[in-house]
Each structure stands twice: as structure tokens, then as C-alpha cells.
Amino acid sequence: MMKKMSISTSKTSLVLLLCQIISALDVPLDSKLLEELSQPPTITQQSPKDYIVDPRENIVIQCEAKGKPPPSFSWTRNGTHFDIDKDAQVTMKPNSGTLVINIMNGGKAEAYEGVYQCTARNERGAAISNNIVVRPSRSPLWTKEKLEPNHVREGDSLVLHCRPPVGLPPPIIFWMDNAFQRLPQSERVSQGLNGDLYFSNVQPEDTREDYICYARFNHTQTIQQKQPISVKVFSMDSLNDTIAANLSDTDIFGAKPVTERQPVLLTPTGSTSTKVELRGNVLLLECIAAGLPTPVIRWIKEGGELPANRTFFENFKKTLKIIDVSEADSGNYKCIARNALGSVHHVISVTVKAAPYWITAPRNLVLSPGEDGTLICRANGNPKPSISWLANGVPIAIAPEDPSRKVDGDTIIFSHVQERSSAVYQCNASNEYGYLLANAFVNVLAEPPRILTPANKLYQVIADSPALLDCAYFGSPRPEIEWFKGVKGSILRGNEYVFHDNGTLEIPVAQKNNAGTYTCVARNELGKIQNEVQLEIKDPTMIIKQPEYKVIQRYGQVSFECIIKHDSTLLPTVTWLKDNDELPDDERFLVGKDNLTIMNVTDKDDGTYTCIVNTTLDSVSASAVLTVVAAPPTPAIIYARPNPPFDLELTGQLERSIDLSWLPGDENNSPITSFVIEFEDALHEPGVWRYQTEVPGSQTTAQLKLSPYVNYAFRVIAVNRIGRSQPSEPSEQYLTKSASPDENPANVQGIGSEPDNLVITWEPLKGFQSNGPGLQYKVSWRQKDVDDEWTSVIVANVSKYIVSGTPTFVPYEVKVQALNDLGYAPEPSEVIGHSGEDLPMVAPGNVQVHVINSTLAKVHWDPVPLKSVRGHLQGYKVYYWKVQSLSRRSRRHVEKKILTFRGNKTFGMLPGLEPYSSYKLNVRVVNGKGEGPASPDKVFKTPEGVPSSPSFLKITNPTLDSLTLEWGSPTHPNGVLTSYTLKFQPINNTHELGPLVEIRIPANESSLILKNLNYSTRYKFYFNAQTSVGSGSQITEEAVTIMDEAMASRQVDIATQGWFIGLMCAVALLILILLIVCFIRRNKGGKYPVKEKEDAHADPEIQPMKEDDGTFGEYSDAEDHKPLKKGSRTPSDRTVKKEDSDDSLVDYGEGVNGQFNEDGSFIGQYSGKKEKEPAEGNESSEAPSPVNAMNSFV
């Protein structure tokens, strides 16, 4: 026996309230009806609340309204009556409330600035418009100011202020030059939201005299221009030249080079700021930074994520834009400006407020005398808006009393209304950010029934399709609708009809016997009316001879048949398509009454041909494929899919079975292997064919199992080795009787979504599984292991039921049973579910940490009692974080790491720890609801480890026999440093390493001078740090001591030596004589021996030599092309300036690559002074020399 569910008094009130709302009448949108019914005024069009007008044009303030009788209009201005008859400049449009203020004939727009409100009134009430604030737009000129030129040093930041005039509405700002071209913007140069132009760092190309800020006032279509701003950027080179020109040779001068700088915020200033934005608006946050290199901006939201799909970055990511903001977007937004030297940030605290917005706006009520109803006005906002009511534009507190009306906060309750209760009510919801005003009328009507559907309307439907007969009606009180068949027939009832609330009668499966005259009767206490409609049932259109698959030889003739059967009263049209498109415009295609013929077939005729038959009520189609082949030398057997079965017949009809028989179609040279039988349920899923069964190809009958309450139709498909046939024509329909359900819902579950509920879900039965009308579900539950009765409830059209007030996480027995109008399904099986989980109450105890090594620890804990978990135990989470490094003071790390251990595991490993550090951890138990409390923080320390490599190694101040080494301590010492180890060894010109020397250095040292080294020698250094655990990774560098001064003095320019000049002149003269002899011999036609040898075979030795392999080729050593490491540069006191000597060998390369023979003659050409490394090892920029000239000459 099912328990009845009790309903509390509050729930009863809610149900009654809903019933009252539902009982309100809906007025159909019938133009003739609306013209006849009385109706209070309704505002249909009005100007915006904030109405900015062009002061050069007439002001039009809109106010349109409808009502019966037509309403009259009046206006207030600034809260008092506005008598338009006394102002010759103001007129009101005929049959309208729209005001036209004539400005173009001498009026001034400023004189009509104010707050306007329109009232539309008739005998049934008065509706009012919003308060319309009318303001003329303003586009003032720029204030004259003297603009001084901006002189800026290269690399500094700069802000060019726009300061546009205050207009209404505010202008749009942009920067252009004298040629009216927009100034290019980038990450370095961009315009801020306030219109100013920001330079993160200025460059020489920023110098110009025409930075012009423009303000465009769209409302008046005017543009105002600021005076041009001049910017002069001084580069360091030009600044040095200027200083040098004004100082004597003895003065010390020289501007500092352009230095890189950390980011600094240009806007906003300070570290924090606040911003308030309204709900629904666009939130714009801006950060622009100075710095060199140009900083990059990044945005984050503290404690959350930036909203997806609503976040955009503009102005090179300097502007964060969030559209359609809501209260959830409140919070702290941080912008971070970063370059290679550091970063700076700014936090903007955003608060989202909200002007009032509707939750439930009041809706018009049409009531009958004596009925009840409610007007509900609910709005939200931040802060919460206040609700006030007006009646016919007057505050309800001072409006005429109405005994049927009671105001209860945001609701007006009407009881037993009378015709005099008709009125228009206004709801005003307002807070400091705005207001909402809504008009809703209460129209009390007493009207006899009216039927709006035309009399004797004819409905035509195809047999076995739904029939919908309309009976649109209106009346007050709401009429009752009844349907009859025939003039004197009985009232229609039963499962074969569906009666809709709008008066429509539906016959789900119309048969021939449903044709005839139907009478709709509408009655209320004021009268009765009836209307007759006609229903005709037509035979469906069918293709009884479908086009068939064809294989035709090229240049042959083919014909597709399409013979149809249709209702004699319907006129069909037949259309042929090729590949779902129109037939080609070709005279070879002949369309007959029942066929399509293609003459002289070609390869392009290959495709699918479709016959479509249309009537005014239905449409059918059938397709066939045409395959065009070359003419075979001998006839071949054509194998094709079978033709569809036909002549389907139903016999032996029983409640749960039926016999189906058919005749097979042509098998087309491939035996039929099987028949597939499909069914359609026209009652629940019309047009959807589902698999029923499959029988062997030798069988042409089948006994089919049936389900109750299904309107069956069957079709058969033949299958052979080639494929499946087209489906047969459907059989006649067979409607089985209703029965109680055979099965219960599957996948029943009981899972709580809250700590005090149990959500029971199931997979609902499909339509044909219902076995009858009125499908419902009996949901039952009881607490497991408790002596308690089953609690049950019956629901319909849902697949979920929520049980409230349950204990937290206790097991329940749950079952769901199907039932319909004929009875219950078999008793369902029970499943075990649980009510909702809650957060765990107890933290894990006895937390112990065992440090395994400097980067790994093992943590143990005791499991919590299962009862305290209050849910499904999912595992444990270990939170751990680094407190500080024991080797040096550092700021506290707040980033916590989390490791999750599934199930009832009570230990785990903590990898990736930093050596010689202090850590804290705690453990929490996790269930399906979330995490429990944390255990007390456990402190543990990791032992020392080996350090990282020193942060840098620099080698400076090279002399003949010494080098100075400087280094930085390791970035990660991982313990207490005990010492440093330095190893070094010389490297000769063939890259062979000399003996290795090792030096131990105390940990507190940061530099060392190595003495007693060999001059002009390259050394390789290996440097690392040690803790008590061992040595860390090493860093390497190379450096060179300088050469002996005496040897350097021997490097003289051979191009200035007399013996060298004489030798070169002799060689040049000899070559000139040889060339003259060769020329004379060639003109005489003879050949000289050298030429004969060249013709016989090319000798590579006499070919012009390349620079890198000729006799006078450049001396090359792999070391020559390696840049010296840090600090390995020639001392300034040994560098000869270019102004002092252009010929000095010391001024080329790096002063150490010149090579001499034993007699002191120079054998290597010297290169030009190096500005940067050459691209190839054997290529360099060379200064002209006699050696080079000789190579070129040869």
C-alpha cells in the first residue's frame, strides 16, 4: 500500500498561488478580437532613459501606446505638468504622444534640457513611461595652451598628455600627424584609456614635431584638434659630439651609454588601486610600464582564473577587457610588467555593483469578475533594490482604495475582482545605480465565449497520420471546450483522442472512419457557442513500381520506371533528379508519365536517379543507381542486389504475436541468403524503422513477437551476396492492446548530492516499452539495516527523485517500479545507494616523516576511523612546502605542493625536495565531498647535498705572467660551502693540453690572482664548489696572457719597408713583360710552350689561387677565430687608438696573431680591425696590403 505524501500549509499556499496565476486569461493575438475588447493602455515605444540629442536638429521625444479606447497623452517636465499648448515650439504628433520640439526655426536645445515623463490614459487606467533625461550633446573647443618642446634622452620614458575637452558624450581620442596618418603604435608606444600617448622608452626615430591628439565627437560629427607636440630625442652619440665640441681637450666628458632599466609603471601609479564596475558592462583595466628593454605585460586574477570566453587582451596586452561582468568577477586583478632586468606589479581591486535587473517582471492580467490573481515584481541588484508600486501613475499609498487589492512587498494580490478593478500598475525597482520601471495592467472582462476558428474549415490529412482540428476560443470567464462528432453525436472521450488546452482536438492515428463533421462547443456562465469543421482522410501516395538498379553499356538506352498510386482527389507531380540535383538540360533525357528514358548513354550519365512524387499533403521518393560500362566482347551475367519483396500480409493476429508473409522479388542472378524484417511504431516513433528479426532466404513467413500498446507496421528487406534490396512497401498497421508494463527501469542508482539528501535516478522506459497509456514510476526507499517501512511516491515524466532530510552518508535500499493505467510491472529488484556525503571530521594522526636522502622523504600516518570519513574514502592528500633554506636566509616559500595517495594507503614518498632545507607538511583525508581537516604541521629537515656550479667565473686583468679570477657563489649551495677547487692547464696551438694544476680555495674567498704564468699562453680553467657531502658541478673558462712587449715592438708594417717595395716592383715588371710577349705571340697565331701545356692538361698549381690556399695566403689557426672569454681583453694601456696610428699592427685583430719568420719578415697578412666575429672561419674583412694586391694580380 502506497503511503500518501503530506503537504505542509506553506506548500498549499504556493500551489494555490500558482493556480491563481495559471487561471489568468490569455488574450489571443486575433486582430478582430483585439479591436473589440476593452484594454488599459500599454506603452509600446519610448525614448531611452538617457537621451542625448543633437543641438542642431529638432528634438523628438517618443511615446507610443495602445489601448481600447485609444489612450490620450500628457507630459511632465522636471516633475511638473508640461503644457505643450503654451509653447509654440512644441507639438505632439496626431494619435500619438511623441513630442517634436522645433530647434531648427530659432529654438535652443539648452532651453529644453530636463527630465520628461509621458502618461497614456484611457477609461481603464494610465500607463507611464520612464523618466527620459534630455541633454543636448556638447563638443567644446580645446583650451589654448603653450606647449613646450619635449627634449628626451634616448631610452627614457615619455608621456604626451592629450587632456581633451569634456564633451557629452565623451569624445573618441586618437593620435595622428600633419598628414592625417595615424601614428603607429606597438608594445613600446601606445595610447592609454585616458587618451595620453605613452612611450615605454624613446628611440631616435621618435623625433618629430607633429604629434597631434584628435577628439572626435560622434554625436555632432565634429573633430577637434590639439596643437602639435614636438619631441626631440637625443641619442648618446650625438650628445657626446655636442659635449665634445664645447669642451677643451683637457676636459673629461662623455655621456653615459643607453642603460637598460627595470620596469616602472607609468599608469596606474602606486602598488594598488580600486575600480567599481556595473554588472553587464565591459570591465577595462590598464597597465602601461616604462623600461628598457620594453616590458611585457601579463594579467592574472588572484585566487581564481580569468573568465573563459569573456576575457580579451587589447593594446598589446596592456588592457584587460572582460565583457558582460557579473558579481563573480569581483576580486583582485594583478598586472605584471617584466623585462630581462626584473619586474613590477600593480593590484587592482575590482568591485562589481549592479543596477536593478529583473528576476520576475510583472505581467498583464486578464481576469473575469470574481476571479483572483497576482502581480509579482521581483528584481535584484547590488545593493538590493527597493520595490515601490504605483497605480495609474500615482503612488499606491495615495491611490484610490480598491478592496480587492492587497500589497505584500513585491506582490499585489487580487481577490474577487470586479470590472472597476481594472487599472495599470507600475513597479519601480531602484538603487543608487539606476532604476527599472514596468507597467502591467489588470483588465477585468466579462465576455461570452467566442470561437475564432473559421466556420466549416476543411482539414485534409493522409491516413495513419495525426489530425489536428483547431478550435481557437476566447471568453471571460475561461470557457470550457467540448468536441462532438456529427451534429447530434455524443461527446468525444477516450485514449484515441488528445484534447489540448488551446481547444485543439488531436487524433494521433487518423483512419478512414475518422472522416466527417466535428463540432466544437465553448461555454461559460455568460453564454455558449459552437463551430463545425470538416475532416477528410486521404489515401497515402505510394510508388508501386520503383526504379531499379541498372547496368547499361555505353551508347545504349536505359529506362527507369516510377509507377504511382494516389488518392483520386489529390493531383500528384513527379520530379526526376540526378545525384540530388536537376536533370541535365539535354534532349537525350525523356521524361514520360511513368518513366525516365536516357538515350545514347555516356559515361557522365553514371549516377543515382531519384523519382519524387509530391501532393499537397504528402511526398514519397525512390532512387536507383545507373552504372555505365564499356561494351564487353561477350555478354556477361549481371549480378545485382535483389528486388524488394512485395505483397506483405498479416494473419493470425494475437495480443503478443502475429504472422507475416511476403513474396520475394527477383534475386538478380545472386540467390537470396536472408530476409530482414523491420517494424515502425506509428504511435510513439512515427517514421522510425527498427530491427525486428532476420530469417533464412528460403523462408517467406515469420511469426513475430509483439509488445502491447504499439501501432505496428512491418517491411521486409532481401539480402544476397551483392547487398541489400530496397525495403518493401509497409504492411498494413496493427495496433496491439494495452497491458501493464513488462519491465522496470534500468540503471537505478541512489547517490546523494547534499549531506542531507538522496538522489534516486533511473533510465526511463521507451515509448513502446510502456505497454499502455499513463506511464508512471513508483519510487521506493528505506534506510538499510534499520527496521523501517518502505516510503514510496509515484512520479511521471521524470527520471530523478530527490529525498530530503536524510542522515549523512547512510546506506539506503532503493527500487523503482513502472506502472501505467492498466497496472504495475513485476516487482523490481533492490539496489543499495547512499545519502549525500559531508566533509570528513577527523584529521589523520601520528604523522611521521623519515628523511631518506637530501631530496626524498617518506611520510607515514594512521588511518582515520571510517565513521569519521562521512563518505566514500578516496584517499589521502599530503600538503608540503619549503619553509626556508638552512644555508642562507631567504623569504618564506608559500607555494604548497600536493601529493594524492588513493585508497586506504597510509604512507607515501615525497620526491623533489631541496637539500639542506626546512619543510612542513600535513595530511588530510579525502572523500567524494572534499577534504577533511589538516593534521598538525610536521616539521622536517633535509640533509646537505652537493652544490650547484658557481654562478659565474670571470677572468680579468691579463698581464705577462698573471690573471685575475673572480667568481660568484653557487645559486643553490645545498649546504654549507667548505671550499672551492680551481684546476687549470695551458693549451698550445694544436689544442694539446698541458699539465693540470689544482688549487684549493677557502669558501669565503671570491677572487684570486694567479701569478708565475707563461706569457702569450692560453689557459683553460675548471672551477667548482664543495660541501661536506662532496663536489658540485664545475664551470669552465679560457683566457690568454699577453705577449712580451719586446716582441710586440718588432711587429712593423712590411708594406713600408724599402726592400719589400723593390721586390714587388720587380715582380710586377716581370709579369708585365710576360703579358706583352703572350699578346704578341697570340696575335701572330702561334702557341708558346706554356700555352701548349695548359691546352694539354690543366695544372691546378698554375690556376689563380684562393686567398686561403695561395703562397701568400692568410695565416689561419682555429684559435684565432675563437672569441676570448669574459675578462680576456687587451689592457687599455696597450691599445693604440685609430686616431694615433692607422698602420699599427696592434690595432688589428686582437694584437696577438701576427706571425714572423726567423729573420723578422712578416709572413701573414693582417686583417682589418674586428668589429664582430666573421661568419666563416677562413673569411675576414681585410685591409689592403701589397700581399693582397699580389694575390689579386696573379
pLDDT for residue 752 is more than 70: yes
pLDDT for residue 713 is more than 80: yes
Q: State pLDDT tens for residues 33-58.
A: 667 788 999 999 999 999 999 888 89
pLDDT for residue 258 is more than 80: no
Split at pLDDT 50, 70, 90, the class of 1087 is very low
pLDDT for residue 1191 is more than 60: no
For position 336, what pLDDT does the model report?
A: 96
Which of 1015, 1011, 1013, 1009 has the alpha carbon at shortest distance from 1042?
A: 1015
pLDDT above 70 as % of the chain: 84
| Average pLDDT over every residue of 656-675 | 93
For position 240, what pLDDT does the model report?
A: 60
1159 or 128, which is more confident: 128
pLDDT for residue 770 is more than 70: yes
Under 8 Å CB-to-CB from 92, ≥6 apart: which residues?
73, 84, 98, 99, 100
Inter-residue contact 430 to 355 (CB < 8 Å): no
> How far, in Å, are 58, 97, 118, 134 from residue 101 at the CA level?
6, 13, 15, 12
Split at pLDDT 50, 70, 90, the class of 631 is confident
For position 1181, what pLDDT does the model report?
A: 37
pLDDT for residue 1123 is more than 60: no
pLDDT for residue 450 is more than 70: yes
C-alpha cell at 590: 525523356
For position 233, what pLDDT does the model report?
A: 93
For the packed helices 1058-1083 and 1186-1193, what is the interaxial angle rounded to 10 degrees? 10
Q: State pLDDT tens for residues 64-83.
A: 999 989 999 999 999 999 99
For position 30, what pLDDT does the model report?
A: 55
258 or 1187, which is more confident: 258
Query: To 5 degrees, how large is the angle CA 830–CA 833–CA 834?
Result: 150
User: Which has the minimum average pLDDT: 299-308, 537-546, 630-639?
Assistant: 630-639
Split at pLDDT 50, 70, 90, the class of 763 is very high
Q: State pLDDT tens for residues 862-883.
A: 999 988 889 999 999 999 999 8
User: Which has the minimum average pLDDT: 475-489, 731-745, 921-935?
Assistant: 475-489
For position 1056, what pLDDT does the model report?
A: 61
pLDDT for residue 1084 is more than 80: no
Q: State pLDDT tens for residues 1022-1071.
A: 999 999 889 999 999 999 998 765 554 454 456 566 778 888 899 999 99
pLDDT mean across residues, the chain: 84
Split at pLDDT 50, 70, 90, the class of 146 is confident
For position 1108, what pLDDT does the model report?
A: 41
DSSP bridge partners of 831: 814
pLDDT for residue 715 is more than 60: yes
pLDDT for residue 710 is more than 70: yes
| Average pLDDT over every residue of 152-169 | 91
| Average pLDDT over every residue of 427-456 | 93
Task: Please give the single-letter amino acid code of residue 1045.
Answer: E
| Average pLDDT over every residue of 672-697 | 93
Q: Which residue has the cell 693604440?
A: 1136
| Average pLDDT over every residue of 608-626 | 95
Rg (the chain; Cα; Å): 49
Instruction: Show the beta-strand stretches assigned E in 49-97.
Output: 50-53, 59-61, 63-68, 72-77, 80-81, 90-92
Q: Which residue has the cell 565623451?
A: 170
Split at pLDDT 50, 70, 90, the class of 1079 is confident
Under 8 Å CB-to-CB from 1184, ≥6 apart: which residues?
none
For position 26, what pLDDT does the model report?
A: 61
For position 1094, what pLDDT does the model report?
A: 42
Query: To 5 degrees, how large is the angle CA 37–CA 42–CA 46?
Result: 150
* Sequential DSSP letters for 453-508: SPTTEEEEEETTS-EEE---EEEESPPEEEEEESSSPPBP-STT-EE-TTS-EEES
Q: What is the Cα–Cα distance from 681 to 472, expressed in whole angstroms?
A: 31
User: Which has the minimum average pLDDT: 38-42, 140-144, 788-792, 805-809?
Assistant: 140-144
pLDDT above 90 as % of the chain: 61
Helices (H) and strands (E) in the chain, counts: 8, 85
User: Which has the minimum average pLDDT: 226-235, 489-498, 932-941?
Assistant: 489-498
For position 522, what pLDDT does the model report?
A: 94
Q: Three-state DSSP class for 451? A: strand
Split at pLDDT 50, 70, 90, the class of 892 is low
Under 8 Å CB-to-CB from 409, ≥6 apart: which residues?
387
485 or 238, which is more confident: 485
Q: State pLDDT tens for residues 317-353.
A: 999 999 999 999 999 999 999 999 999 999 999 999 9
pLDDT for residue 398 is more than 70: yes
For position 896, what pLDDT does the model report?
A: 87
Q: State pLDDT tens for residues 344-359.
A: 999 999 999 999 999 9
Q: State pLDDT tens for residues 454-474.
A: 999 999 999 999 999 999 998
pLDDT for residue 784 is more than 70: yes
| Average pLDDT over every residue of 539-568 | 92
| Average pLDDT over every residue of 378-387 | 94
pLDDT for residue 826 is more than 50: yes
For position 394, what pLDDT does the model report?
A: 93
For position 886, what pLDDT does the model report?
A: 83
pLDDT for residue 16 is more than 50: no
Q: What is the Cα–Cα distance from 563 to 546, expressed in whole angstroms?
A: 7
Inter-residue contact 669 to 641 (CB < 8 Å): no
For position 634, what pLDDT does the model report?
A: 62
